[in-house]
Amino acid sequence: MSCKVITSQLSISLRNTNLFEKYSCFILVVIWFADYLISEILGHSVQDKMRIYTWVQFEVVNREHSYPKSNTNWANHAVRTADPRKTLQFPSKDNIFSMNHKEWQELKYVFDIAQGIITNATVPVPLRFKYQDKVMSMQRKVASTVARRTDTVLIHASDPACIKDVKTQANILLHKDNSTCMAWRMDMAKLFERYVQHIVSKSINELSGTVINNGKITGKGNIPHWGLKYLEPDIMIKFSNSIYMGDAKYKAHFYARGTKSEALNETHRSDLHQLLAYCSFEPQLHKTGILFYPAKTLSFQKIHYSDRNGGICNKVILFGLPFGVAEMKDATVKIKELFQNDMLKIIN
């Protein structure tokens, strides 16, 4: 099977991306084979035109022939003729046009490094799963290529532009320990969610409660293809006979509390309906939910939604949480006090 290097017509400017994008894109670009569809390789993230480049080079191989050639090593042959059985064996150095040449093997070595980084347990799980199938498929394709250790991949002036791009990214990966590396890129909304979950978990554990992060509420029945098979609240807070729901929203609502905006109103309506849907699974009659928003200073405000016909009152707490390491300790104390002085009174 012929090995191919798939590159973009446009410049793959990985140098301006973060560490994960360098490695993941490098894996997707460095090593692949012709029989793999381009759409399966780079997916929807790169829509520019693609081309397949066959990378072959001359390689010097030591061989023996039954006849002399222009490149026969006569000095070696003279030594071997002491053995009559080797008189008609002519050692030579043949130049062959090969796809499995030295520089390709060096890139296979870099691929192994990149694969180890992507599949490492320290990489966020969603990022590992995103590239898992592609990396495994790629590994099967290059299993027959023997990696050749190298500290630097040489870039030749005669190399095609696409090969130079690949080698440049390979050297960035090989020299990563000699330069300042950036952190993994992570969606800020997901990071804020993890931040809130950590603070709430620490607060509730001190109150002998239990926190379930991203617990799934499963659905059963004739669910359409576009339907939801489960609900997933960010935070479920459990005490002995009560459950409270929380949802973290990385939105600017708390910064714009004094601003009248239809766009903010509609997005908050969606957040509120989502939270109340989660609260419907709380066993207590009067339910409480918390919406966490990033804020400049720590503060909260309570809103009561009452049904006059049924006599049911649901409480929603809008909690503004400073998003920073320095504020974590104070936020933990405030959330603990909120449950001690306010929310636990609902049980009575």
pLDDT tens digits for range 115-142: 888 888 877 788 788 888 888 887 887 7
**For residue range 67-83, what is the model confidence (pLDDT) as tens digits?**
787 778 778 777 777 77
Asked if residues 75 and 81 have their Cβ atoms less than 8 Å apart, the reply is no
71 in a domain, yes or no? yes
Asked if the model's pLDDT at residue 51 lies above 90, the reply is no
- Domain boundary among the residues 77, 94, 111 is at 94
Domain of 130, in residue numbers: 3-56+99-178
209 in a domain, yes or no? yes
According to the model, what pLDDT value does residue 44 have? 34
Q: What is the mean pLDDT of residues 26-46?
A: 33
In the chain, the N- to C-terminal Cα span, in Å, equals 73
Specify whether 268 is located in the same domain as 227: yes
Specify whether 24 is located in the same domain as 77: no
The region of weakest confidence among 55-69, 116-130, 148-162, 214-228 is: 55-69
Q: Which two tokens stand for residue 218?
A: 């499963």
Specify whether 201 is located in the same domain as 174: no
Specify whether 310 is located in the same domain as 206: yes
Q: What angle do CA 204, 209, 214 make, to 5 degrees?
A: 75
Specify whether 123 is located in the same domain as 75: no
Number of folded domains in the chain? 3
According to the model, what pLDDT value does residue 97 have? 62
Residue 316 CB neighbour total at 10 angstroms: 19
Asked if the model's pLDDT at residue 26 lies above 50, the reply is no
Specify whether 113 is located in the same domain as 250: no
According to the model, what pLDDT value does residue 39 have? 32
According to the model, what pLDDT value does residue 14 have? 33
Specify whether 28 is located in the same domain as 141: yes
Asked if the model's pLDDT at residue 19 lies above 60, the reply is no
Q: Which two tokens stand for residue 166?
A: 């690949």
Which among 290, 195, 183 has a CA at the least distance from the CA of 236? 290
Q: What is the DSSP letter of 293?
A: E
Which among 186, 166, 153, 132 has a CA at the least distance from the CA of 18? 186
d(CA 213, CA 215): 5
Sequence-distant (≥ 6) Cβ neighbours of residue 256 within 8 angstroms: 264
Asked if residues 180 and 194 have their Cβ atoms less than 8 Å apart, the reply is no
183 in a domain, yes or no? no
According to the model, what pLDDT value does residue 250 have? 92
235 in a domain, yes or no? yes
Give the rounded percent of residues in the chain with a pLDDT score beyond 90: 13
- Domain boundary among the residues 178, 202, 234 is at 178
According to the model, what pLDDT value does residue 249 have? 92
**Where residue 1 falls among pLDDT bands split at 50, 70, 90?**
very low
Q: What angle do CA 133, 110, 123 make, to 5 degrees?
A: 50
Q: What is the DSSP letter of 147?
A: P
Sequence-distant (≥ 6) Cβ neighbours of residue 214 within 8 angstroms: 232, 233, 234
Helices and strands (H, E) in the chain, number of each type: 9, 13
Asked if the model's pLDDT at residue 59 lies above 80, the reply is no
Specify whether 202 is located in the same domain as 338: yes
**For residue range 234-290, what is the model confidence (pLDDT) as tens digits?**
999 888 777 889 999 999 888 888 888 888 899 999 999 999 999 888 888 778 899
Specify whether 16 is located in the same domain as 66: no
Residue 6 vs residue 226, higher pLDDT: 226
According to the model, what pLDDT value does residue 182 have? 56
Specify whether 167 is located in the same domain as 302: no
Specify whether 78 is located in the same domain as 169: no
44 in a domain, yes or no? yes
Specify whether 228 is located in the same domain as 308: yes
According to the model, what pLDDT value does residue 291 have? 93
